[in-house]
Amino acid sequence: MDLGLDGKAAIVTGGSRGIGRATALGLAAEGCGVAICGRGSDDIDRALVDLRQVSNRAWGQVADVTSSADVNSFVDGAVRELGGIDALVCNVGGFSGGETLDATDEDWMATLDMNLMHAVRTIRATVPHMKSRDHASIVIVSSISGWKPGPRAQYGAAKAAEIFLASSLAWDLAADHIRVNTICPGSIYFATSGWADYERDDPEGYARFLKNELPEGRLGTDFEVAEVITFLCSERSRWINGAMVPVDGGQSRPSGRWFN
């Protein structure tokens, strides 16, 4: 299926590794120019080498997405390099602090900043550039932790807030022909993921988690998630708006460390 992304331009935050990198490669393979940001210059450089083997329209910049100045600089640079923005993927995530009752106020605020507020900042900077396009799409990468219980409630609460943000913005931006959806991955395996660490450090616990919580007995991959994101960025999904799309293989609970 031709997704109609050839000649379009997309931004992927956290695009230097994992799901973000896989998404950037998927968009580039469809003919889309791609701008990525990340915290480390080495990771950005490595990702750009891979991207430029697929597309001659790839650009990246080191940016701290908890800084409005960095986000604005990155978005402005992407518009300059790519000539506009048709799609935005808000992919940065993570958490601060330990278990829920041990997490400090600062841990909660840092986790909300990294997840929810990073998406707010990037969307706020990007939307003015999208309004001039015929059709634009925003995809926020949330998590099944946004509605399935797990440890570290500060992370789940931030991911739930992303889901609400997308559904609300879908109404706010519909008149400008900008769609907003949330994708909710389950546990996703890639070489530098925490799940790879879990498999190495506790192979028996990891095996029990796969058996107990994943119907197919395996984790998803970053590229399986990226394929869904790429579709949601395209005009082929133009009647999907305000949706929460799980990509979890039917996973029952989000953490092997708590329930296993």
Residue 100 carries which side chain, given as an amino acid letter? T
H-run or E-run covering 236: none
Minimal CA–CA distance to 13: which of 171, 111, 187, 138? 138
Beta bridge partners of 100: none
198 classed as catalytic: no
Q: Give the Cβ contact number of residue 40 at 10 Å.
A: 11
Angle at 183 between CA 22 and CA 224, to 5 degrees: 35
Contact yes or no for 225/19 (Cβ under 8 A) = yes
- 113 with 61: CB under 8 angstroms? no
Tell me which amino acid residue 65 is. V
SS3 202: coil
**Is the CB of residue 245 less than 8 Å from the CB of residue 233?**
no
237, containing H or E segment: none
Residues belonging to the active site:
155
